[in-house]
Amino acid sequence: MIVAPSILSADFGNLEKSFKKVSSAKWLHVDVMDGHFVPNISIGPVVIKGLREYTKQVLDTHLMISDPEKYAPEFVKAGSDRITFHIEAVEDPYGLIDKLRELNVSVGISIKPNTSVNSIRELIPLIDQVLVMSVEPGFGGQKFMPNALDKISELSELRKLWNPELLIVVDGGINETTGNMCKEVGADVLVAGSYVFNSENPEERINSLL
């Protein structure tokens, strides 16, 4: 099991201190929002570059943006190790997957709560991870949506057929209870923001999800 603290919930005034609090985590999850695909606006490639200088942890970058084909390469060059884009935001997912492969980065696809697994079935053999949104993207601190569990189960079965190495990532409303529910049906990576960073003991919270 991999826990990926979401830096959207970190203290941007003191990132170095925030990173030290979650130093045991293998991954850091970075949400990129453009104010168009989702209502909020967050960090860009310049911040990713700064994050890369702070840490050697895997930077798992989640592009919640319109036109990811145009901007994804910038986030790779800035230091992202893994790029996940939304199936709802692309016209040619095959083309973007190919472009990211050429840049030697791991590739993921995310689906929103109202998007079915069926929409990405044909892409499963081509990618490294699927990110299941268990809240509406764009805001932290939301409650977990249980329909995500059905999607995780479905993906777990599909990867047995098409891509045994596929990682199933879950993002939204993750805590010890919902994290265990996700693990039981096949999740490999849990993204947790406020549950980790708003705690007196972030490392303890990370361990509770492993």
The set of catalytic residues is 31, 171
Q: Which two tokens stand for residue 147?
A: 């329909």
Q: Which two tokens stand for residue 22?
A: 């979650």
Strand partners, 155: none
Q: Which helix (H) or strand (E) holds 46?
A: helix 45-54
* Contact status, residue 152 vs residue 168, Cβ threshold 8 Å: yes
Q: Which amino acid, 73?
A: P
> Shortest CA distance to 124 belongs to which of 89, 91, 157?
157
